[in-house]
Chain A
Amino acid sequence: MAARKPIFNQQVLVDTTPLPDSVPKVKEVGATSAPLLSASFFIGARCRPYNDDYMQCKTENPGKGEFECLKEGRRVTRCAASVVDDINKHCLDEFRKHWQCLDNNNHQLWQCRKDEWKLNKCVFDNLKLEKTIPEAQGIPVHLRSKQIYAHYPALRDPGQAPFKKAVDAPGAEAPAS
């Protein structure tokens, strides 16, 4: 029995037929989870209208959105790719530091505030994109200089100023350099 070798691998299962020529081509973003998480709020800041358009299209075409919303989907992808490209162009070092920190810390954003502040500052200076958390209670959590759950209480390099809008918790000033 079972003389036939079981064939079950990705090479056979992948259907490589491209989209028909009637559908415009778009290059996928191709970033992994940590860079996407690191850039997510900037993607949201620039691409919110495209994202909302796409989600509205999906809502209005239940069951057919896969085909009806290809155009909106391409816009979403192009916009997100433009954000990632811009960050790569202007803030590559900060971006890398931040997403590598995320990768090393189980994707916990609060462990990487120091790198995040540097990235946020660079992105705000160069791209005018700002990270905002809607409906945040009190000081937005990414601007607090004290992160209760972080492994290391020293959140800043000596002398490093916090991100512009950060509000210092009492007694949490950065030591002088």
Chain B
Amino acid sequence: MRKDEKDSNKKLTFAIFLPQRNLPAPGFKPAALVLGMGAVCVWGFYKLGQGIREQNELAREKMWSRIHLIPLLQAEEDRDLARRHMADQAREKQLTGDNFKVYNSDRYVRPTYAVTPGNTTK
């Protein structure tokens, strides 16, 4: 390259600014972020599973406590219904002399209307 040619070239060159500087990106790498998110999600689902299992067990406990109580409560209610029914039948017999068979079956039907006695005996 001759001296004069170099000089003419020098006149034409201008500063080329390269935006790519090969510096490390700030913050975490995307792979690390994805992995971290995955870890948090796995941990969360693990805790969720634990909670659901414990809730199932608590529900089982609640159900069994109720299962143990139902006969007691039902027996009390049945005795009350039988008492009212027998009182109704006795009252009807006293008033009309006979018990009119309302339904064509032997099933006990819980009365829709309550006939109240004129005077309470309590």
Contacts and interface: CB of A to CB of B under 8 A. Distances in A.
Interface of A: 11-20, 23, 26, 28-29, 36-37, 40-41, 43-44, 47-48, 50-51, 54-55, 58, 62-67, 69-70, 72-74, 76-77, 80, 109-110, 133-138, 140-142, 144, 147-149
A40 B68 contact: yes
Interface of B: 50-51, 53-58, 60-62, 64-72, 74-76, 78-79, 81-87, 90-91, 105-108, 114, 116-117, 120-122
Given A37-B65, A51-B68, A76 B60 contact: no
11 contacts: A16-B117, A17-B87, A17-B91, A23-B82, A37-B65, A47-B71, A48-B68, A51-B72, A65-B78, A69-B78, A73-B76
A41 B68 contact: yes
Contacts, number: 146
A87 B122 CA distance: 32
A109 B116 contact: no
Contact of A73 (B55, B79, B108, B120): B79
Contacts of B85: 66-67
A19 B53 contact: no
Given A15-B114, A51-B68, A64-B106, 19 more contacts: A17-B91, A29-B72, A36-B69, A37-B69, A44-B64, A44-B65, A63-B106, A67-B85, A73-B79, A76-B72, A109-B58, A109-B61, A110-B58, A136-B57, A138-B57, A141-B54, A141-B57, A141-B61, A149-B55
Nearest to A46: B68
Given A12-B116, A64-B108, A142 B61 contact: yes
Nearest to B120: A16
A76 B71 contact: yes
